[in-house]
Structure 1
Amino acid sequence: MSEAKSVVEVTAHDVQGPGVVACPNPNMPLWSNHPRVFVDITHGDGGRCPYCGTHYRLKAGETLSHAH
């Protein structure tokens, strides 16, 4: 029914604040922009944007030193 949403693997350097990343991210085309939201990637296998469905997760081997 719906196509697979994209998966974005981020580094610890990409993480802002307490374990969140901003969506839309800088690599997304301008036409697909939506209001900026912060997606928590500290639980399980990352997090998903409520607007576009993009799944964000930490790259293998990366660790967050300040995640709660």
Structure 2
Amino acid sequence: MSSEPKAVVELTANDLQGHGSTYCPNPKMTLWNQHPRVFIDVATTGEGRCPYCGTVYRLKAGEHLHGH
């Protein structure tokens, strides 16, 4: 797999669920492009990569998670 992400999705702190995770595929992805839903930890390092499609999810610059 290439080190370059297929796509980068920037998130706000409000976009994250629970303890700072999101899921892929996200609602903006087209139906033909979907794979099994996986939860991706963004809180630990500020970004995470989907193991299926390589999409990178990261916090927008200047965003801070509350309670972390």
TM-score, normalization: structure 2?
A: 0.85
Distance 1:12 1:4 in 2: 21
1:4 CA displacement: 4.5
Contact 1:18 1:66 in 2 (8 A): no
RMSD value, Cα: 1.8
Which residue number in structure 1 is paired with residue 10 of structure 2?
9
Identity of aligned residues (%): 63
Which residue number in structure 2 is paired with residue 59 of structure 1?
60
Query: What stretches of structure 1 move > 4 A for 4+ residues in a row?
Result: 1-4
Secondary structure in structure 2 of the residue aligned to 1:13? helix
